[in-house]
Structure 1
Amino acid sequence: MPPIAREPAPAPCTEAGFTVSVEGHVAVLTIDRPEKRNAMTAAMWAALPSVLAPLADDGDVRVLLVTGAGPSFCAGADISDLLGGADPDDPMADLRRDNLAAQAALREFPKPTVAMIRGHCIGGGVELAACCDLRFADPTAVFGVTPAKVGIVYTPSSTKALIDLVGPSMTKYLLFSGELIDTPTALRAGLVDRVLPADELEPEVRRFADVLAGRSALSQRATKDVVAALARGGDGEEQARRWYRETITAGELTEGVAAFAERRPPRFRWSG
């Protein structure tokens, strides 16, 4: 398939510890605090839903890449913020609320999301990566989930996200120990989907993002909805029927079949 045609990329915008750039149909969200290995402050957790919202609503954005500035993805939550809440009986209440809202915004982002991981991916970094649809890493990546090191009870939604990726036993291993695992171990466990040489990671992720941007956005939305329904214990039938009707109404099914018959790339126009 030929590459997606690209407009000149607008200048990246920076907000609350994030840099957002859009090139063609691919948006890149960079966690931009490299001096702290991209550790997430309380303000960054609180801001993430509002950073993601315009990208979710932008019909030209079809894929979201999530990465970190410099040699690390994200070293987790900034520990200096852990006890900064106003309630002395629950000093993490505000941070926990904003952390869960940020995870939900990324997990429910309506378009394919790919985490591009180098270096440290620890604690809240694993939470963010687990909220993405796919995770690509290079051999420098190390992963760890560390609540047992600081006496935190991991939230049920974060625990379930880990279980869905690596299973109950590996989830317990990570949460019990807080030990770091290397990229080959993460690949075997299912925490990452692909491992690439360091110099090939970004070119391959960008190439793959272009592939995703050229596919049917409605089919991708349907996949996300059906997978989420099945993960919740439903059968996904209602979601599948609704999106199937939408592909017909929007003309994506007709275009996909015509493109296949004519041996050409499809020109899907639905923008959501």
Structure 2
Amino acid sequence: MEPCLQHAVADGIATVVIHNPRKRNALTPGMWHGLPPLLERLAADPAVRALVLTGAGDTFSAGADIGSLGTTYEETTALALPAEEALAGFPKPTLAAVRGSCVGGGCQLAAACDLRFAEQGSRFGITAARLGVVYAPSSTRRLMDLVGPATAKYLLLSGELIGTERALRTGLVDEVLPPGGLDERVAEFTRVLLSRSALSQAAVKEFTAGPVDPARLEYWRDQLSVSGELGEGVTAFLERRAPRFGWMPPARSDHRPAVADPQGAAEYSR
């Protein structure tokens, strides 16, 4: 099979698989370019409540296919950055399920997800300094916000890889699972995500992406008022039953994805 992004939707979960096992799931230009439109379609699909990103086999991704890298700043960022921003801006919860190597552009994509669960023994790293690549400011900020300045500098200045224990301690990973336990835990946790209010989750995605202008805050206040989500949550709590949340994001422009640093994405992908 040619390198590709495989995807499927089942039981409210969209699963996107980085598939290039002959090159440790390195991402080709076609795969980088294909991720944003794929995410746009999945975001618009009312059957999708959350998204899991993973790699084929026992590797998440070794990053960009080195043979596809250019020699200028624009060439090296034009592939990965739009894909990273599209993933960070996905309006529903995202989770990277990592086993094996999660390196370079693969780690860049994992960091753009909301959550990262990893199998014990996985390895993480940003190898820009090994290749002489200037890592984009928006990507640097995202990594620093995730793991803090000290660990971000360690990863970016050295290009060294870290294991799951350090990744968990620094916040790069949210949970570490024993070998063979990753898929079961991801399935269990995504069921938890689906049981929660999509209204609450969508607001969290937008609020954590950056400053919220007053008009958007008013939008979310209105949605809370008219959706009935809070009333259902309180009633379910008092009746000691699981809540039956029903809010769905509007199909048109009154609901926007939580795009992280869109200005930076435009600036650095030209």
TM-score category, normalised to shorter length = 0.7 to 0.9
Q: Write out the 4+ residue segments of structure 1 that deviate beyond 4 Å after TM superposition.
A: 235-241
Matched, 1:42 2:19: no
Q: Is contact 2:119–2:176 with CA below 8 Å preserved after alignment?
A: yes
Higher relative contact order (CA 8 A, sep 6+): 2
Partner in structure 2 of residue 191 of structure 1 = 172
Q: Is contact 2:76–2:133 with CA below 8 Å preserved after alignment?
A: no
Unmatched runs of 5 consecutive residues or more in structure 1? 1-13, 84-89
Q: TM-score, normalised by structure 1?
A: 0.87
Q: Is contact 2:2–2:20 with CA below 8 Å preserved after alignment?
A: no
Deviation at 1:140, TM superposition (A): 2.3
- Give distance in 2, aligned partners of 1:145 and 1:41: 17
Deviation at 1:143, TM superposition (A): 0.6
SS of the residue corresponding to residue 148 of structure 2 reads helix
Partner in structure 2 of residue 4 of structure 1 = none
RMSD over aligned CA atoms reads 1.8
- Give distance in 2, aligned partners of 1:202 and 1:241: 39
1:145 aligned to 126, 141, 161, which one? 126
Q: Is contact 1:122–1:144 with CA below 8 Å preserved after alignment?
A: yes
SS of the residue corresponding to residue 103 of structure 1 reads helix
Residue-by-residue CA offset, 1:135-184 (whole Å, 9 max, x unaligned): 00011210111111111110001101110111111111111111111110
Q: Is contact 1:18–1:29 with CA below 8 Å preserved after alignment?
A: yes
Bigger drift between 246-255 and 185-194 goes to 246-255
- Give distance in 2, aligned partners of 1:195 and 1:42: 31
Matches within 5 A, 1:111-150: 111-150=92-131
Identity of aligned residues (%): 50
Unmatched runs of 5 consecutive residues or more in structure 2? 250-270
Partner in structure 2 of residue 226 of structure 1 = 207
Q: Which amino acid aligns with 1:51?
A: L
Q: Is contact 1:45–1:95 with CA below 8 Å preserved after alignment?
A: no
Q: Which amino acid aligns with 2:236?
A: A
Matches within 5 A, 1:147-166: 147-166=128-147
Bigger drift between 253-262 and 107-116 goes to 253-262
Partner in structure 2 of residue 64 of structure 1 = 51
Partner in structure 2 of residue 17 of structure 1 = 4
- Give distance in 2, aligned partners of 1:143 and 1:96: 20
1:101 aligned to 72, 79, 82, which one? 82
